Amino acid sequence: MRAQEMIRTHPQVKGDVNDALIRCIEECYSCAQTCIACADACLGEQMVQQLAQCIRLDLDCADVCLATGALASRRTGSNEALLRQMLTVCETACRTCAEECDRHASMHEHCRICADACRGCEKACQEAAASITA
């Protein structure tokens, strides 16, 4: 991904890149893609009705991750309070999705992969939030 390359060249960043935030942006977009693919794979399973909550949480998590990645990518001006809140929401969405996917991971490999991606994004959001100064 080119997040670091793009943000480093931003005129208001002046080369001073927050590595934790960059990692978070990349994790958010990766997690969103994984959650979308997991939801689609769940739809293809024979017992799809039993995966309805998993699908819902996959899609919720994907939407939150995409919005968080976009917000974190914007470096013109700043709204650090909103960014911190979005990182917290994303952390919660990822944790909730990971917990649901874990319930199905022994039967569906796509759920195990998704749970792992969500945990990685959850951690990246925590680290990014801690790295943001007022």
* The predicted structure's pLDDT at residue 75: 72
* The predicted structure's pLDDT at residue 7: 67
Identify the CATH number of the domain in which residue 83 sits. 1.20.1270.360
> Per-residue pLDDT for 11 more than 60?
no
Stated length of the chain: 134
Model pTM?
0.91
- What is the per-residue pLDDT across 74-113, written as a single tens digit (0 to 9) for each? 876 778 899 999 999 999 999 999 999 999 999 999 999 9
The residue-averaged pLDDT of 12-40 equals 88
Angle between helices 19-44 and 52-73 (to 10 degrees): 150
Query: For the chain, what is the domain count?
Result: 1
pLDDT category of residue 2 using cuts at 50, 70 and 90 = confident
Tokens representing residue 113 in the block: 């992969």
Residue 39 belongs to what domain range?
A: 3-131
